[in-house]
Amino acid sequence: MKDTATSCTIIAALVTTVVFAAAITVPGGNDRNKGFPILFEDRGFITFVISDALGLFSSISSVVMFLSILTSRYSVTDFLFTLPNRLIIGLITLFISLISMMVAFGATLYLMFAHKITWIIFPLTAFSCIPVALFAYSQFPLLLDMIISTYGPGIFGQRSDRILFWICKSRKEKL
């Protein structure tokens, strides 16, 4: 779990860096007189802004989740409930950040090339999705295994009460 959290932290930090840099350098540039982006009223720009913001927030969330795994105290209850939940949340937010980053990339391609070279948008967007698909192919089975082992049936085939137990336990701790 520590090795997975370490490698996923690196990936999430890279995504955070790329998405943050994309947010600062607005596609199309800014109007010098007003300070607003030139392509502000284009649909592609709104898609870019929303997907870039979603990618930034979800990648930062995944970094926080993976770092909380690395800094855990590693008690028995942590291995049963807390660490699997954090890994599941971290992987889901990492998948969301990668998908959002690719949507922002596609929107940028649309903004730059839609008016002149339309045929190049689809192949570049398709090729850019290959790394995300490879990451999903390699990490999605881990996510499914974690969800099934954490929330699925126990070793005796009975339905798990772990979600209910975890909610009740957290409420008792707050009281």
CA atoms of 114 and 49, how far apart (whole Å): 17
- Residues 6 or more apart whose Cβ sits within 8 Å of residue 19: 52, 55, 56, 59, 97, 100, 101, 104
Question: Could you read off the pLDDT of 88-114 as tens digits, one per residue?
Answer: 999 999 999 999 999 998 888 888 887
DSSP bridge partners of 37: 30
More confident residue, 138 or 171: 138
The token duo for 149 is 């082992």
pTM, to two decimals: 0.78
Mean pLDDT of 56-85: 88
Phi, psi of 116 (to 5 degrees): -120, -55
Q: What is the mean pLDDT of the chain?
A: 82
CA atoms of 66 and 129, how far apart (whole Å): 24
Mind giving me the DSSP string for 22-43?
Answer: HHHS-TT-B-TTT-SBTTTTSH
DSSP 8-state class, residue 81 = I
CB atoms within 10 A of CB 22: 19
> How far is CA 59 from its chain centroid?
5
Hey, where are the domains in the chain? 2-174
Asked whether the predicted pLDDT for residue 84 surpasses 70, the reply is: yes
DSSP 8-state class, residue 175 = -
> How far is CA 130 from its chain centroid?
16
Asked whether the predicted pLDDT for residue 169 surpasses 70, the reply is: no
